[in-house]
Amino acid sequence: MTAKARELKLDIERIGSVSAILTQPDNARACYVLAHGAGADMRHAFMDKIAAGLANRGIATFRFNFPYMEKKQGRPDQPAVAHATIGAAVAEAAQLCPGVTLVAGGKSFGGRMTSQAQAKAPFSGVKGLAFLGFPLHADNKPSTERAEHLARVDIPMLFLQGTRDRLADLGTLKPVVAGLGPKARLHEVEGGDHSFAVLRKSGRSNDEALAEVLDTLAAWIDELV
């Protein structure tokens, strides 16, 4: 499926502007507002693969940089700035892709900032949140404090998690997702790490594991559509 990638500028009220990319296949049925992780920007290979893979499945993506990444600063923005950036991205995506189902979320930090923002002030028009590796806790230090706000999210949520993810111990994450009730769903990527990379001895490639992620995400979005 052919897709057009448009380089854009996203204006954030009282904060400034950041770079953004809309990847839009012909006759897209949905748009995923895709926030990047803490350590890599919207052009990282992982983000490129997600955008291209969803485009091949008929789903547009709107990617953007957080201000700290745009300015090449090492420390992530304060939550209020991140939330405002995501809010601006959702509003822009709604304008650029009128009439299609809108979902939001992203990789690690970006997904968590999206759920925090949704819990604080729900986004207009967003039908669900999808997390590409939700960072439940610090590396190998299981805890649930970062998940407390999820109870205040009142739209469907999809957690895509590798079983080797050191930032989301499944023994800790599973009860969290179960406690959210039918609005939340967990899909485990067997052998995947925080970016869904698998060990060679698993018998499959990283691309095959990522295809599982993309197929699962696209099917879940289709349920919302």
User: For the segment 54-69, what is each residue's pLDDT rounded down to a tens digit?
Assistant: 999 999 999 999 999 9
The model's pTM is 0.97
Terminal CA-to-CA distance of the chain, rounded, Å?
19
Q: What single-letter DSSP state applies at residue 133?
A: S
* Cβ contacts of 175 within 8 Å, gap of 6 or more: none
Can you tell me the mean pLDDT for 37-41? 96
Number of domains in the chain: 1
pLDDT tens digits for range 83-132: 999 999 999 999 999 999 999 999 999 999 999 999 999 999 999 999 99
* The pLDDT value given to residue 74: 85
- Say whether 126 sits in a helix, a strand or coil: strand
pLDDT for the residue 73: 93
The CATH number assigned to the domain holding 154 equals 3.40.50.1820
Domain extent for 126: 3-224
Average pLDDT of the chain to the nearest whole number: 97
